Chain A
Amino acid sequence: MRHAGVLIAVVLSLATLAAQGPPDISGFWELSFDSRRVSAANLAASVTPAMLAKQAEKDAQAIRWCNFLGLPMAMDSPRPINIRQGRREIIINFETVATPRHLYFRAAHADMSVFDPTTNGDSIARWDGDTLVVDTIGFDGAKGVTMIPGGGYRTSDAHLVERYRLVNDGTMLSVTFTWEDPNVFRTPHTYEFRYLRAPRLYEAQPPLPCNPFDEARAAFLAR
Chain B
Amino acid sequence: MRVDVDGSGSFNSLAAKFPRAVLTPAGQAAAAEQAKRAAQPRFDFARDPSKPRAPGEGYVVTDGNCNLPGGVEPNSAAFHMVQSRDQVLIVRENPGLPRTIYMDARAHPDLSRVVPTAVGHSTGRYEAGALVVETIGLATGNVTAGGWRTPETRLTERYRLSADGRRLTITYTWEDPKVYVKPHTYQIVAERTPPGSWAFESWCDSSDPSQRLSIVPPAQNK
Interface residues of A (CB under 8 A from B): 24, 26, 61, 64-68, 82, 84-86, 89-91, 93, 97, 99-100, 102, 104, 106, 110, 115-116, 118-120, 122, 143, 200-201, 203-204, 206-207, 209-213
Bound form: Cα–Cα A80–B118 in Å: 20
- What residues of B have a CB within 8 angstroms of the CB of A207 in the complex? 67, 97
Are B205 and A86 in contact, CB atoms less than 8 angstroms apart?
no
A68/B201 contact (C-beta < 8 A), A82-B89, A213-B64 known: yes
Q: A84-B82, A102-B199, A213-B63 are in contact. List 7 more A-B contacts (CB 8 A).
A: A26-B84, A91-B80, A93-B89, A115-B198, A203-B109, A207-B97, A211-B67
- What residues of A have a CB within 8 angstroms of the CB of B83 in the complex? 86
Are A210 and B67 in contact, CB atoms less than 8 angstroms apart?
yes
- What residues of A have a CB within 8 angstroms of the CB of B200 in the complex? 116, 118
Bound form: Cα–Cα A86–B84 in Å: 6
Q: Which of B80, B84, B106, B115 contacts A85 (CB 8 A)?
A: B84
Q: Which of A116, A118, A206, A212 contacts B206 (CB 8 A)?
A: A212
Bound form: Cα–Cα A120–B93 in Å: 13
Are B87 and A26 in contact, CB atoms less than 8 angstroms apart?
yes
Bound form: Cα–Cα A77–B41 in Å: 37
**Which DSSP category, helix, strand, loop or mixed, fits chain A's interface?**
loop
Are A26 and B198 in contact, CB atoms less than 8 angstroms apart?
no
Are A91 and B82 in contact, CB atoms less than 8 angstroms apart?
yes
Q: Write the nearest CB–CB distance from A208 to chain B, whole angstroms.
A: 10
Tell me the nearest residue of chain A to B86, going by C-beta.
A26
Bound form: Cα–Cα A69–B217 in Å: 32
Bound form: Cα–Cα A86–B66 in Å: 29
Bound form: Cα–Cα A216–B57 in Å: 31
Q: Which of A86, A110, A119 contacts B198 (CB 8 A)?
A: A110
- What residues of A have a CB within 8 angstroms of the CB of B206 in the complex? 65-67, 212-213
Are A85 and B67 in contact, CB atoms less than 8 angstroms apart?
no
Bound form: Cα–Cα A64–B66 in Å: 13
Are A93 and B98 in contact, CB atoms less than 8 angstroms apart?
yes
B182-209, CB under 8 A of A: which get 1 and which 0?
A: 0000000000000010111111111100
For this complex, 7 residue pairs linking A to B, each with C-beta atoms less than 8 Å apart, are: A26-B84, A67-B205, A91-B82, A110-B196, A115-B198, A118-B203, A122-B198
